[in-house]
Structure 1
Amino acid sequence: MSEIKVDPKQYIVKDEPYYEAVNDEIELYQSAYDVRMPMMIKGPTGCGKSRFVEHMAWKLGKPLISVACNEDMTASDLVGRFLLDKDGTKWQDGPLTTAARIGAICYLDEIVEARQDTTVVIHPLTDHRRELPLDKKGELVKAHPDFQLVISYNPGYQSLMKDLKQSTKQRFGGMDFDYPETELEVAIVTKESGVDQAIAEKLVQIAHRARNLKGHGLDEGISTRLLVYAGQLIAKGVAAEAACSMTMITPLTDDPDMRDTLNAAVQTFLG
């Protein structure tokens, strides 16, 4: 029996991810990392949570291992499993175990999507023990001194069936994220998409109109990510209305009345 080895260098973020600080989140996260505090990042879809974590991994020069959580994810998907091949049985670490071994930041995106019986495996890594039992392998992994666990989720989608247990929540420090203020969001859309500032301002105005509809026909407002998508299409020569329909309306809702409302907002600012 052997193990499948990994090269930590493959998880290093080589190029600086573009990120504009909204408040003092960079300094706060830096301090949390200095004491290896597990961190919980909460905020709406597409507001920059994942980009922030990627930026901080780059800034700190640490490997980053990201996992998109889902309801079918098992504990073995996180921790690892035995695999069979022509040479026999091999143990393959899961992303959580790999991060603990090599001293990476392990980022579990949308943690509430995972089953609660899966998320409990992170508990021993988020207190004074900083260890991960591999029951199937009979090994106790002591986390590397540089290891940190970061989780994120969207509080807007919380329910009694999809929320973290208090026994999990109280193992983390927390940071709230939201969409940037108008001026900063315009700057982000301009930088990321390549459109001029005037177009970016109009896209942000449409987004503000849509975000006011959250809870009144929309489950979620137009994210900064979708504004960047729209801007990228416009920068490539796609008509503004078609670009907005494709990126900011069709993905958001199937309700005809709500689509009419959003189309009216597009017409108002870009027509």
Structure 2
Amino acid sequence: MNKLVLDTQKRRVNRQYTQNDHTLIQQGGYISPIPSLWEDILIGVVLQKPILLKGPSGSGKTKLAQSISAYFQQPMQSINCSVDLDAESMLGFKTIIAKEGNTHIEFVEGPVVQAMKNGHILYIDEINMAKPETLPILHSVLDHRRMLTNPFTGEVIHAHEDFTVIAAINEGYVGTSPMNEALKNRFVTFSIPYLTGDQLEKVMTALYPSSTPQMVETFLHIHEDLKKQVLNGLLSEEAASVRSLLDALALAEHMPLERAITYAIAEKLEDKIERDLVMELVVTWVK
């Protein structure tokens, strides 16, 4: 893909995504609330720039990465960051193998090594959940060198030309820490907002075609009210999560709407005042 002429690629990306967005939704894919966002991110991928997706929980960052993987027909290796993430989790580990009566040591390649060698996408989820001292091992992978000296084997790995890095962060969440400048500066950063309006309606009707237009419209109104209260500082960001909204819509096909919202959205909030506010907003739209 990286040998394509960029202008031609740019036109092709825009045309194909517009034509195939319904298919992408059915595959669990991503639709951008900003017309240029999808195209601009793909251009960054073509230019071999590490991509950082920044946005609230449930805004579709993982779905966006999966859609890029589907678009380029490029497998994706994933790292889920936490305080327990270490070099072995990223690069791999040595293990003892018994074969034909003999034992020998083999190295089991981790997601970073596999992605670099095979030209896969490396998706690093919640990168700011990892301990700051864990990630510098990736600095040479993320800059112009695109290489890594594996500390466990001594092997020098030069990335396949199609190797792509996409990372995601939820800013300001418990357990996260600011990315250090050396790491952040290696990425091109895109803010990923929540879906709204027509895009969200398109996703809801594609994923849950048996939902009535009235039910979809009610959920859209509820989501708008939740977003307003998030902006007003009265609700946590997760209250307006599109992921949670879609979970609620799925439940609402089999139970009353109020219970569906309770299980999928309200009960995820730790503050009782916030839970009560969510349900008060719901009541205004339930006839």
Tell me whether the two structures share a fold, i.e. TM-score over 0.5.
Answer: yes
Equivalent residues in 2 for 1:31-70 (5 A)?
Answer: 31-70=43-82
TM-score norm. by structure 2 comes to 0.83
Partner of 2:247: 229
Secondary structure in 1 matching 2:133: helix
Cα distance between partner residues in 2 of 1:133 and 1:158: 33
Please tell me whether the aligned partners of residues 239 and 266 of structure 2 are also in contact (alpha carbons under 8 angstroms): no
Q: Quote the residue 1:74 is aligned against.
A: 86
SS at match of 2:252: helix
Aligned sequence identity (%): 24
1:141 aligns with 2:157: yes
Change (3 A) 1:83 1:24: same
CA deviation after TM superposition for structure 1 residue 104, in Å: 0.3
- Deviation at residue 52 of structure 1 after TM alignment: 0.9
Q: Deviations over 1:7-46 (max 9, x none)?
A: xxxxxx9x94433232212211221122211111111111
- In 2: Cα distance, 1:75 partner to 1:197 partner: 50
Aligned-pair Cα RMSD in Å: 2.0
Is 2:264 the partner of 1:247? yes
Equivalent pair of 1:17/1:58 in contact (CA under 8 Å): no
Gap change, CA 1:46 and 1:72, over 3 Å in 2: same
Structure 2: give runs of 5+ residues left out of the alignment.
1-23
Shift in CA distance, 33/256, structure 1 to aligned 2, threshold 3 Å:
closer
Question: 2:31 matched to which residue of 1?
Answer: 20
1:174 counterpart residue number = 189
Alignment partners' CA distance in 1, 2:139 and 2:69? 22
Q: 1:130 aligns with which of 138, 146, 161?
A: 146
Question: How far apart are 1:158 and its partner, in Å?
Answer: 8.0
Preserved CA contact (<8 Å) 2:239 2:265: no
**Aligned-pair CA distance for 1:213:** 3.2
Q: 1:30 to 1:218 in 2, by over 3 A?
A: closer
Structure 1 runs of 4+ off > 4 angstroms? none
TM-aligned CA distance change 1:219 to 1:231, over 3 Å: closer
Deviation digits for residues 65-120 of structure 1 (CA, Å, limit 9, x no counterpart): 12221111112110111112433211011111110010001000110011111111
Which amino acid in structure 2 is aligned with residue 33 of structure 1? V
SS of the residue 1:72 aligns to: coil
Q: Which amino acid aligns with 1:129?
A: R
Ranges in structure 1 where 5+ consecutive residues have no aligned partner: 1-12
Distance 1:78 1:243 in 2: 38
Q: Distance in 1 between matches of 2:136 and 2:27?
A: 33
One of 165, 186, 198 as aligned partner of 2:201: 186
Q: Specify the SS of the correspondent of 1:212.
A: helix
Q: Which moved more, 1:60-69 or 1:207-216?
A: 207-216
Partner AA of 2:208 in structure 1? S
CA distance in 1, matches of 2:55, 2:235: 20
Deviations 1:210-268 (A, max 9, x none): 23333335253321111111111122x211111111101101x1322222211111111
CA distance in 2, matches of 1:206, 1:94: 43
Mapped to 2, the partners of 1:17 and 1:210 lie a distance apart of 23
TM-score for the superposition, normalised by structure 1: 0.87
Residues 255, 193 of structure 1: alpha-carbon distance in 2 compared, 3 angstrom cutoff: same
CA contact (8 A) 1:84 1:90 kept: yes
CA distance in structure 1 between the aligned counterparts of 2:155 and 2:277, rounded to whole angstroms: 57
